Amino acid sequence: MNVPRNDITTALFNLLNGCYPWVTSDIRLRLPEKISAGQQPAMFLAKIREDFNQTKTYYLTSYTLHYMAFILVRSDALPGVVPSAESEMDNILDAVDSVLFKTPQGPGMPQTLGGLVTNCWIEGEVLIDSPVLFQQCAIWIPINVITGV
């Protein structure tokens, strides 16, 4: 890998951190019970897995880093009733999707985190825990990063 992993994680965190007015954000994951309503919305980034592949790179290893953006929103910390939490979560998802989609090269081009990686995007199922039974809402957004060889 040509770029240190920590540089990639920091670049992704900084990109996500700037896309929304988070009250709390950190690269280190914190448990929901440790984050008060006044500290939310909160965003945390965790690297959950790495894949190494040489299938199409002729004996050069291609790296895929898998991250999870973990977002907390307390419905009782927002003005209004429960639909305001749903609306807030939609706004957060739009902001994260938008920042990963927008690139200096224009829409449809890879998000390279400022030239550090080959591509960075949301991959797979986004899990949304709405405020049906509890006031704590959560969103898990899977993000893949291909670093190249």
Element containing residue 53 per DSSP (H, E): strand 42-53
**pLDDT interval class at 123 (50, 70, 90):** very high
**pLDDT interval class at 22 (50, 70, 90):** very high
| Residue 133, pLDDT score | 60
Residue 81 reports pLDDT greater than 60:
no
Residues in the chain, total:
149
Residue 83 reports pLDDT greater than 60:
no
* pLDDT, tens digit (0-9, with 9 covering 90-100), for 36-66: 988 999 999 999 998 888 777 677 788 899 9
CA–CA separation, 47 and 29 (whole Å) = 10
What is the phi/psi pair of residue 83, to 5°?
A: -55, -25
Residue with tokens 């690297």: 47
CA–CA separation, 90 and 103 (whole Å) = 21
Residue 97 reports pLDDT greater than 80:
yes
